[in-house]
Structure 1
């Protein structure tokens, strides 16, 4: 799969805003994230995504795999123009590994590093992030950022396709809440172990139970806590 270059206008846009704070009005400079429509051509149909315009090849490939085709496979991405891509699905990638196990202290250490790393959200407050973490080597193999949390999952799937990496053998770390739609997308990508800094929903828990997915929420190092919402009889979260 071809990796696309950074969009020429992905840097935050400077604007002037009027802000009310502490009982006072003030006009001052600010920045906002760039968000643009991305056209994805797949199997003769056109689809539009809204995204932060960087590394778009991974985004469109992952979206084609997780939302339009399913499964884990190699992909070919053709850049038609600056914000338009055509994706073709290739050979299947085997994706049935075990993600390993983590002690509680290891979860908190990993989530702390994941959250504290410098990223786009530090300037705009507009971004989610997700990462593919190797529990066996205690390394973050790849991290993605985007305005939409689902886009972050797509970007990881595109990276996995490009590098032929089975996501089932890795832990998904994410800054966003785990809802039904996000959990379903993560499961389609192959994840069996999900750790979120935020909340989870009842539907996400039900999906985790149905698909034998370990689901951890509220993982917050500064508060020294996390909540295991579902794990297996032979647990992946070690006490």
Structure 2
């Protein structure tokens, strides 16, 4: 399994990686039915094991899986740095994929103490969490981060559509993107699950040692609590979402120092927390 190394316009992986499939459909338009075929995004079980201990099963798109394993480990505070991510091996099984990760044994013991053996879905990052404190986890306050003129937010958003080849084909995936402070897209990752797309992006950034204080995060989804939590955990200070935030996401962003923006469009956006990082939209 090879991960993409570039940000955008990179080809969709071969169908051998099963990221999308063709299926027969009946199209109805202007009173007529047409027999046709459509590209459908794949969604498969993905089992994550740490030091041979089963931890979580997610539903995900089978691409950029090594990025996902590293990003999930960081965003869920299973490890503190990419240096603790010793190795990952990807195994294709009949039912899906198994990711076998090696991390320091002390980190595995900490997982057991948290009592998190969760079974997740692509739309849910908390399914199966056993303890309330595991849900409402407050990351440390983020650093100062960059100052970004509003126009640069819009520049990144304008470039994002063409940087999502799988969504262009299927219309079924979310994207998480990293842009520099000038609004230039640096990395993009896609998945049927918004949490998975963000974890893939975080992993890709960690592998390339991308500094989190040099840019901002763009999400093609709502800004839920879990998305802000993952971003703050790795130190991202500016989160831009095309849809709305939740009240709990705003609360977490306020308390961790994250600038949270929702309803981001080509010419407009709404700032919910810490507006001092954002210049005027025309600046």
Per the alignment, do residues 11 and 3 of structure 1 end up closer, same or farther by CA in structure 2, a change over 3 Å counting? closer
Identify the structure with the greater strand proportion: 1
| 2:63 is equivalent to residue 54 of structure 1 | yes
Ranges in structure 2 where 5+ consecutive residues have no aligned partner: 5-12, 105-140
**TM-score by structure 2 length?**
0.72
Q: C-alpha deviations, 1:57-83, integer Å up to 9, x for none?
A: 111121122226053333233315232
Please tell me whether residue 226 in structure 1 is matched to residue 240 in structure 2: no
Question: Taking structure 1 as reference, are residues 45 and 68 closer, same or farther at Cα in structure 2, changes over 3 Å only?
Answer: farther
Q: Secondary structure at the match of 1:184?
A: helix
Q: CA deviation at 1:185?
A: 1.5
DSSP-derived class of the 1:160 partner:
helix
Q: CA RMSD in A?
A: 2.5
CA contact 1:36–1:50 (8 Å) conserved in 2: yes
- Compared with structure 1, are the counterparts of its residues 211 and 23 closer, same or farther at alpha carbon in structure 2 (3 Å cutoff)? same
Secondary structure class of the residue paired with 1:225 = coil
- Structure 1 unaligned segments of length 5 or more: list them: none
CA deviations on 1:101-154 (whole Å, 9 max, x unpaired) are 11122221221112343421111111111111110x543221111110000111
Tell whether 2:47 aligns with 1:39. Answer: yes
- The CA deviation string for residues 22-48 of structure 1, in whole angstroms up to 9 with x for no partner, is 555443221211122122111442122
| SS in structure 1 at match of 2:243 | coil
Q: Quote the offset at 1:96 in angstroms.
A: 6.4
Q: How does 1:61-80 map to 2 (within 5 A)?
A: 61-67=70-76, 69-74=78-83, 75-80=85-90
Map of 1:171 onto structure 2 = 216
Query: Secondary structure of 1:191's match?
Result: coil
Q: 2:20 — aligned with what?
A: 12
Identify the residue that residue 142 of structure 1 maps to in structure 2: 187
Partner Cα distance (2:31, 2:79) in 1: 52
In the superposition, the TM-score normalised over structure 1's length comes to 0.84
By how many angstroms is 1:98 displaced? Answer: 3.7
Aligned residues: 229
| Residue of structure 2 equivalent to 1:113 | 159
Aligned counterparts of 2:248 and 2:30: Cα–Cα separation in 1:
40
CA distance in 1, matches of 2:277, 2:223: 19
What does 1:151-170 align with in structure 2 at a 5 Å threshold? 151-170=196-215
Please list, as runs of the form range in 1=range in 2, the aligned pairs for 1:78-89 lying within 5 A after superposition.
78-82=88-92, 83-89=97-103
Change (3 A) 1:133 1:71: farther
